[in-house]
């Protein structure tokens, strides 16, 4: 059997790394890895960490390219790849432009598609944008749907997907987290030590991330206002690895660059992020992956989005929706800093770290 695994962004690379490793453990599978490099530098960091060398690198990253330009280029380049590779299955992940366009290209060529992290829904096509439509489009194309949770499974059933084509697996991000922590402990990152040494140990640490398109403009201004308010409190330090997109980077550095207890750093490598997640007292983020990683570490997340397709963590108290609203972000952050919530790591609703093997065993059984 020949499997082509395709991804293009850092979050996809993290979540697909354990799938790649699981495929390679099976001698009956010929595995090829294709990256679109929708993200370049951040993607390469993850590949290096997990020691994955792509067989095909389309290198499609271009500054300020539109979604339509990127989509067209992915379909065009993937058509050539599919003709030359002739895979039995193409595996894609989640909700990126890479995932949906690779799935569409595979469908056009009659190649079966397996969708990792399938069934997540907000049913609001503009939130998150464009991810909600990407995942629904991929879901209409896929031949196998690997749902991370019961809620995701239920969404697929409601949409008429055949029961035998869906498997609840848990989320591969938990597999990646467990792999990543082991690798990072073998060789602790020097940059992580440097960052933590620059922070005052007696102060509480808030870790911030943000990159969603729907927060560009006013959303990031609201986040910055909230962080300014929180930074006024005694005993708080804020560490913010700032996304490279100019719509994020330019605003954040202009608004927050002069505050002593807000530390703005470039995007950090995956093992450094794992160390920061372990070290922090609270997380403020619009990241889907962090909503899934934090429960494994017993950390609370304030989600700066209007909607979430990861309601399991919110319902079980690992996360809270606060939107891009400065007053609410400030109020809830100060509440959790003053009233730390005790969270049990073993209650993680996103799985126990065996999702990748379940996915590969399902494909082999088909």
> What phi and psi values does residue 71 have, to the nearest 5 degrees?
-60, -45
| Structure tokens, 265 | 């750093």
| pLDDT for residue 91 | 98
pLDDT at 346 over 80: no
Active site residues: 95, 117, 131, 211, 213, 243
Task: Report how far residue 45's alpha carbon sits from residue 32's, in angstroms, rounded to the nearest whole number.
Answer: 19
- Does 51 or 344 have the greater pLDDT score? 51
Contact present, 77 and 22 (Cβ < 8 Å): no
pLDDT single digits (tens) 167-197: 999 999 999 999 999 998 888 899 999 999 9
- Does 40 or 8 have the greater pLDDT score? 8
Task: Report how far residue 178's alpha carbon sits from residue 173's, in angstroms, rounded to the nearest whole number.
Answer: 9
| pLDDT for residue 160 | 97
Contact present, 301 and 294 (Cβ < 8 Å): yes
pLDDT at 237 over 80: yes
| pLDDT for residue 29 | 96
pLDDT at 57 over 90: yes
pLDDT band at residue 63 under the 50/70/90 scheme: confident
What domains can you pick out in the chain, each with its CATH number? 2-171+351-365 (3.40.50.2000), 190-347 (3.40.50.2000)
Give the 3-state secondary structure of the chain.
CEEEEEECCHHHHHHHHHHHHHHHCCCCCEEEEEECCCCCHHHHHHHHHHCCCCCEECCCCCCCCCHHHHHHHHHHHHHHHHHHHCCCEEEEECCCHHHHHHHHHHHHCCCEEEEECCCCCCCCCCCCCCHHHHHHHHHHHCCEEEECCHHHHHHHHHCCCCHHHEEECCCHHHHHHHHHHHHHHHCCCHHHHHHHHHCCCCCEEEEECCCCHHHCCHHHHHHHHHHHHHHCCCCEEEEEECCCCHHHHHHHHHHHCCCCCEEEECCCCHHHHHHHHHHCCEEEECCHHHHHHHHHHCCCEEECCCCCCCHHHHHCCCEEECCCCHHHHHHHHHHHHHCCCCCCHHHCCCCCCCHHHHHHHHHHHC
Contact present, 133 and 71 (Cβ < 8 Å): no
Contact present, 49 and 269 (Cβ < 8 Å): yes
pLDDT single digits (tens) 115-144: 999 999 999 999 889 999 999 999 999 999
| pLDDT for residue 234 | 79
> CA-CA-CA-CA torsion for 249, 250, 251, 253, nearest 10 degrees?
80
pLDDT at 345 over 80: no
pLDDT single digits (tens) 247-285: 889 999 999 999 999 999 999 999 999 999 999 999 999
Cis status, amide bond into 130, omega within 30 of 0: yes
The beta-carbon contacts of 254-259 under 8 Å, at least 24 apart in sequence, are 255/221, 255/224, 255/225, 255/228, 256/224, 256/227, 256/228, 259/228, 259/231
- Does 346 or 261 have the greater pLDDT score? 261
Contact present, 221 and 251 (Cβ < 8 Å): yes
Task: Report how far residue 89's alpha carbon sits from residue 34's, in angstroms, rounded to the nearest whole number.
Answer: 13
Closest CA to 50 of 19, 93, 94: 19
Residues 6+ apart with CB under 8 A from 156: 118, 119, 139, 145, 147, 166
pLDDT at 339 over 80: yes
| pLDDT for residue 199 | 87
pLDDT single digits (tens) 291-315: 999 999 999 999 999 888 899 999 9
């Amino acid at each position: 059997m020949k499997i082509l695994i395709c991804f293009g962004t850092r979050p996809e690379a993290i979540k697909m790394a354990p799938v790649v490793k699981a495929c390679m453990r099976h001698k009956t599978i010929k595995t090829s890895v294709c990256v679109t490099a929708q993200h370049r530098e951040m993607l390469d960091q993850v590949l290096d960490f997990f020691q994955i060398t792509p067989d095909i690198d389309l290198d499609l990253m271009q500054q300020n390219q539109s979604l339509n330009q990127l989509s067209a280029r992915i379909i065009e380049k993937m058509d050539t790849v599919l003709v030359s590779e002739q895979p039995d299955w193409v595996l894609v992940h989640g909700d990126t432009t890479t995932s949906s366009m690779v799935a569409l290209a595979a469908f056009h060529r009659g190649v079966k598609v397996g969708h990792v992290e399938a069934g997540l829904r907000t049913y609001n096509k503009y939130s998150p944008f464009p991810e909600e439509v990407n995942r629904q489009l991929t879901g209409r194309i896929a031949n196998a749907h690997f749902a991370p949770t019961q809620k995701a499974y239920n969404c697929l059933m409601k949409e008429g997907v055949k029961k035998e084509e869906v498997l609840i697996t848990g989320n591969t991000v938990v597999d990646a987290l467990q792999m990543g922590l082991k690798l990072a402990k073998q060789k602790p990152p020097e940059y992580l030590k440097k960052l933590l040494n620059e922070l005052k140990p007696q102060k509480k640490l808030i870790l911030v991330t943000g990159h969603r398109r729907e927060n560009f403009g006013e959303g990031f201004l609201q986040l910055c206002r909230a962080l300014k308010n929180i930074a006024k409190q005694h005993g708080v330090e804020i560490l913010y690895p700032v996304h490279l997109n100019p719509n994020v980077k330019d605003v954040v550095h202009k608004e927050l660059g002069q505050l002593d207890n807000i530390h703005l750093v470039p995007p950090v490598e995956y093992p450094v992020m794992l160390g920061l997640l372990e070290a922090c007292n609270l997380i403020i983020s619009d990241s889907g992956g962090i909503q899934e990683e934090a429960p494994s570490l017993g950390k609370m997340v304030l989600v700066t989005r209007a909607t979430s397709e990861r309601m399991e963590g919110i319902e079980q108290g690992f996360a809270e929706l606060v939107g891009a609203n400065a007053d609410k972000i400030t109020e809830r952050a100060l509440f959790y800093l003053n009233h730390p919530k005790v969270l049990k790591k073993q209650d993680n609703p996103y799985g126990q770290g065996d999702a990748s093997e379940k996915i590969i065993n399902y494909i082999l059984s088909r």
